[in-house]
Chain A
């Protein structure tokens, strides 16, 4: 597999990239060697796309899986090699050229969808069709002291490697943000013996993804394990030791200082829409796409975290849009985009699902809670299981499950088949949900 720019360029352009000559505009260029980028390439080969594919990423690593970065990888339980998506032989055998470490800054595109992408290095990549699987980047902390050493983010492999490299000198860590990434990282750091404080700006944990009952469950569970969690937290600045460049503490709004040799920021992501904007594509909290993953030019596909799309959950209100940040969405959305690139129009529809492993808490979510008007809590304290079912107009629309995979699978399968799980019967935690599913 090529690592050098020149080699990659030659391969991409079928040998046409002699000095000064424009690269041939052939094949598909996928910008973003991400979960969705990889899946798009793989799915295209599965459905018979026979043109050359270039899968280009700006990192120096072969395409890898991100979810473990805040969990198993951070804890040292898995090696980086096991996060690699596909063997080198796979890419070669499927006529897919991997290009690493190239950051695309500008794209020239014609009305027919073909064009040339220009990298910061000066390399050029011609294409007949373009796919943007450019993902999102970590939202930066906007506070005095945010630039100090020891203030870190956790989005990609280099972030995780840099974090791991400094852990030995960390006794106390502050995690900013009580969402998935923040709580997963807090759990990992706590497991590694660090004293951990989580600062959440909002009134509850994981507020964007789960309901109040689940937030409360996680609050109690993490506090019970010894993680200090502050809700409605306000930060004033990050402090360094006198004359030092490394973070030493976090000063809160009331003037108290929490000592910290590490501040890990997990406050959400910002979709990478710059290339789409430069191309003149419609952008609104992500790249706006139709139900076939096609952007506003009708030829470029945009997939995964970066795409603002019609809500794929069956029965969603007409015109409702959503941007989903998940592995499941990256995979399923990419399959739809692969069909679009083959000229076949499939509507993206499916049951979004998410997972988050925090210490011994396995959270699984199926469906979307948007617009719920009733919840049913199933609590089995003896077996450590907890589920919340969400209803809208008497119909199940979502579930949060902690260490309750049977509930998760039952609801996920019922949603996929358009079935219901009556709320009154579901309230008894001894009842197996699978046995009370009703049609319609």
Chain B
């Protein structure tokens, strides 16, 4: 089972066991993790599931498509080199992923 570690801006980390094939966003929302809004439910329309991914885990992630890249320019907290929209990060079996949520999504 994949595991997602969500750390908020205050440094508190929540460890959530996810399902293979679900996205990081879905894992957060279904378990009520604060810091992920995801208004559009994962259809890449709202940019309110912004996360910062631990640098060493970036290469393991699916590559970023143009649409995600453009949406990231409109996030509430400015993007960084390790920014992703968590709706685009599908979990693989056994994967561990560490993300930090921004101070606000809207």
Binding site for B on A (CB under 8 A): 42, 46, 65, 67-68, 71-72, 82-87, 89-90, 93-94, 327-328, 331, 353, 355, 357, 362, 364, 403-406, 408-410, 412-413, 434
Contact = CB atoms under 8 A, between A and B. Distances in A.
Given A82-B22, A413-B74, A94 B32 contact: yes
B71 A405 contact: yes
Interface SS of chain A: helix
Report the contact-size class of chain B (Cβ under 8 Å from the partner): 20 to 34
B74 A405 contact: yes
B61 interface: no
A67 B38 CA distance: 13
Given A46-B34, A87-B30, A331-B39, 9 more contacts: A67-B41, A71-B43, A85-B30, A328-B39, A355-B43, A357-B43, A362-B67, A405-B70, A434-B73
B39 A90 contact: no
Contacts, number: 67
A408 B44 CA distance: 12
A70 to B, nearest CB: 12
Contacts of A72: 43
Contacts of A409: 47, 70-71, 73-74
Contacts of A406: 70, 73-74
Interface in B20-58: 22, 26, 29-32, 34, 37, 39-41, 43-47
A85 B67 CA distance: 25
Contacts of A65: 41
Interface of B: 22, 26, 29-32, 34, 37, 39-41, 43-47, 67, 70-71, 73-74
B30 A408 contact: no
Contacts of A83: 41
Nearest to B68: A405
Contacts of B40: 67, 327, 355
Contacts of B34: 46
**A-B complex: 7 closest residue pairs judged by Cβ atoms:** A409-B74, A355-B45, A405-B70, A406-B70, A65-B41, A405-B71, A90-B32
B58 to A, nearest CB: 22
Nearest to A328: B39
Contacts of B30: 84-87, 90
